[in-house]
Structure 1
Amino acid sequence: MIDHIFPLGGDLPVGRLGYGTAQLTGPGYWGPRGDPADAVAVLRRAVERGVTLIDTADNYGPRLAEELIAEALHPYPEHLVIATKGGVVRTSDRAWHIDGRPEHLRAACEASLKRLRVDTVDLYQLHRLDPGVPPAEQLGALGELRAEGKIRHIGLDTVTAEQLAEALTSAPVAAVQNRYHLRDRASEPLLTLCEERGIAFLPWFPLGNGTLTRDPVCASVAAAHGVTPGQVALAWLLHRSPVLCPTPGTGSPAHLEENLAAAAVRLTDSDMTRLDALSPRSAPRA
């Protein structure tokens, strides 16, 4: 029996299949994608369908995704958890600048609060560790914001198991985000540490940036269940570990429905063995 609820930070129960907002913006996560009304409609439909975890970032757009969330969903349902990120600055559709200076992280967090129209961000994630700033200073800045009530829980994006272990000596970390999917399990050691510490792992590119929807093994398993390859890839994550909380993104209502229906897919032990074999870094399931 798969538990589809995860206690984020120990006190925020969220559905393990959430929704990511990057695809509500244009190519390179820059500017709008189509009519903003369509994005608003998809966000509202996600919540209507039971999504309780929405993941975004201040540089999606930039700023646009957070603004769309507020337009679509504020005032927020009591059960809805909003996660955002700071620490990366965009100056074009191809330019990403890491900025982990404490003063920048504070300003970025406070700007996100205003755009999201909240007093506290449920989960505020350091989008990248800044190699030019001591990690303790970056975590310390988030810890101060948490002590002030502006952040409820702290998260990290794109870290190693060693970096997470070090970060935990400076601040409580409730969630991490790393690339992880059927054919890319380089973050397996990080997943193991998350399982040991009860930390949520939000895998980005859970569909392999679309490649898994065309994977022949996923297609074979999908045919046996009467579902799509993408649904199999998402279901594998839900089966793989109880701390994995994928947040696939889309701007399409039909694709949203397809993604959310993956929660109902029940993979057999034989299915899992076939799917596990797709990566050389496969490990025993939790």
Structure 2
Amino acid sequence: MVILDTFTLGGDLPVRRLGFGTAQLTGPGYWGPRGTRADAVAVLRRAVERGVTLIDTADNYGPGLAEELVAEALHPYPAGLVVATKGGVVRTSDSSWHVAGRPEQLRAMCEASLRRLRTETIDLYQLHRLDPEVPLADQLGTLDELRREGKIRHIGLDTVTAAQLERALALDVAPLASVQNRFNLLDRSSQDVLEVCEAHGLAFLPWFPLANGSLPGSAAAAELDALATRHGATRSQLALAWLLHRSPVLLPTPGTGSLAHLDENLDAASVRLDADDVARLDALTAGHGSAPPA
């Protein structure tokens, strides 16, 4: 089975499909640091040394810390490196999320991310959650204003239903380049969103691509172990390889604070599955899934 190793984001930003996510560089609940700044910087630099060209972060990881680490490690950004971040949620504790989609809030968040990332333009800015209290056209319109001002290159959405995505596309207020929903071997509840992305050529960045650490204790573990042994791979590598084979628009960005785990994850790009392997993995949780979080 032949897979493409690259994807052109927004029609003009080619990236390697297996990227790196920064959430795991922060502490539990994405609050505060997880380890030392030096360790986080080393992991980020190693990711780019290994050929990663897509870094996925968010303003509320830390909060603010993850973006600062990206800039500390990688600025000035090498040619071809795409940095994606998110805004639209305010954190007040490790368990408190507050959706904030008013135009003035989104603009202030974007400006703050620009400062932390030390850049004049954010390659991909994703609305972290839709604000039910603000018209969708106003939220997208604000991001499009920022795009026209040169502060955002491309716009994406995070955690949306297929109906919400279709509505955003139909509004035609702002060009969309991506969606970021939960999707992995054990949770395919966003399959319909993936299909919309495929139909419109949008990137789909699956969050929790490794099922948030639940692979070892899952009912799929035995089958994963058998296939992993066949390929000389780990369960995590097999789960990432499955995503890369599942659809050419899937761009998984697994995160870690460990250099060893980083190398393990990135080595998944070299795992090649045949049609039988994919079918066996597809069958593990066919029809299984849970609704995306609010």
> What TM-score comes out, normalization by structure 2 length?
0.94
Asked if residue 202 in structure 1 is aligned to residue 199 in structure 2, the reply is no
Q: Secondary structure at the match of 2:153?
A: strand
- 1:229 aligns to what? 235
1:141-174 Cα deviation digits (max 9, x unpaired): 1011001010000010000111111112221110
SS at match of 1:204: coil
Aligned to 1:216: 222
Whole-angstrom distance in 2 between the partners of 1:108 and 1:36: 23
Q: What CA distance in whole angstroms lies between the structure 1 residues aligned with 2:198 and 2:120?
A: 30
**Aligned AA (1:19):** F
Q: Supply the distance in 1 between the matched residues of 2:275 and 2:35 (Cα, whole angstroms).
A: 42
Paired with 2:239 and 2:55, the residues of 1 have a C-alpha distance of 20
Instruction: Kindly provide the amino acid, as one letter, of the partner of residue 76 in structure 1.
Output: Y
Q: Please report how far the alpha carbon of residue 279 of structure 1 lies from its aligned counterpart in structure 2 after TM superposition.
A: 2.2
- Work out the CA distance in 2 between the residues paired with 1:19 and 1:118: 19
Q: Is the 8 A contact 1:188 1:281 kept in 2?
A: no
Distance 2:274 2:70 in 1: 37
The amino acid of 2:249's aligned partner reads V
Between the aligned partners of 1:19 and 1:212, the Cα distance in structure 2 is 19
Amino acid corresponding to residue 230 of structure 2 in structure 1? A
SS in 1 for 2:284: coil
Contact kept in structure 2, 1:15 and 1:53, CA below 8 Å:
yes
Distance 1:193 1:162 in 2: 9
Q: Distance in 1 between matches of 2:261 and 2:222?
A: 20
Once the two structures are TM-superposed, the CA of residue 218 in structure 1 deviates from its matched residue by: 1.4
Q: Is the partner of 1:277 in helix, strand or coil?
A: helix
* Counterpart in the other structure of 2:189: 186
Structure 1 residues 110 and 3, CA, compared in 2 at 3 Å: closer, same or farther? same
1:90/1:97 contact within 8 Å kept: yes
Post-superposition offset of 1:216: 2.0
Q: Which runs of 5+ in 2 are unaligned?
A: 289-294
CA distance in 2, matches of 1:235, 1:125: 25
Q: Over residues 30-64 of structure 1, what are the superposed CA-to-partner deviations in whole Å (9 max), with x where a residue is unaligned?
A: 00112110000000000000000000000000000
User: Does structure 1 retain, via aligned residues, the 8 Å contact 2:238–2:268?
Assistant: yes
Q: Aligned with 1:174: secondary structure? A: strand
What's the counterpart of residue 291 of structure 2?
Answer: none
Is the 8 Å Cα contact of residues 89 and 129 (structure 2) preserved in structure 1?
A: yes
CA contact (8 A) 2:35 2:257 kept: no
1:254 aligns with 2:256: no
2:104 aligned with 1:103: yes
Once the two structures are overlaid, the 10-residue window that deviates more, 104-113 or 159-168, is 159-168
> What's 1:119 paired with?
120
Alignment of 1:34-113 (within 5 A): 34-113=35-114
* 1:213–1:228 CA contact under 8 A, matched in 2: no
Rounded to whole Å, the distance in 2 between the matches of 1:212 and 1:152 is 36
2: CA distance, partners of 1:227 / 1:280: 23
d(CA) in 1 for partners of 2:215, 2:14: 29
Q: Distance in 2 between matches of 1:152 and 1:158?
A: 20
RMSD across aligned C-alpha pairs, in angstroms? 0.9
Aligned-pair identity (%): 72
1:186 partner letter: S
1:80 and 1:159 mapped to 2: Cα distance?
26
Partner amino acid, structure 2, of 1:236: W
**CA distance in structure 2 between the aligned counterparts of 1:234 and 1:172, rounded to whole angstroms:** 29
Cα distance in 2 for residues equivalent to 1:162 and 1:63: 31
Distance in 1 (CA, whole Å) between partners of 2:284 and 2:24 is 27
2:215 aligned counterpart, secondary structure: helix
What is the CA–CA distance in structure 2 between the aligned matches of 1:261 and 1:273, rounded to whole Å?
Answer: 22
Secondary structure, aligned partner of 1:194 = helix
Q: Which moved more, 1:165-174 or 1:88-97?
A: 165-174
* Alignment deviations for residues 174-202 of structure 1 (CA, whole Å, 9 cap, x no partner): 00000001111111111111111100000
More displaced stretch, 273-282 vs 163-172: 273-282
TM-score, with length taken from structure 1: 0.97
Could you say which residue in structure 1 is the equivalent of 2:11? 10
Q: AA paired with 1:229? A: R
Deviation at 1:280, TM superposition (A): 2.7
Amino acid at match of 1:204: W
How big is the shift at 1:213? 4.4
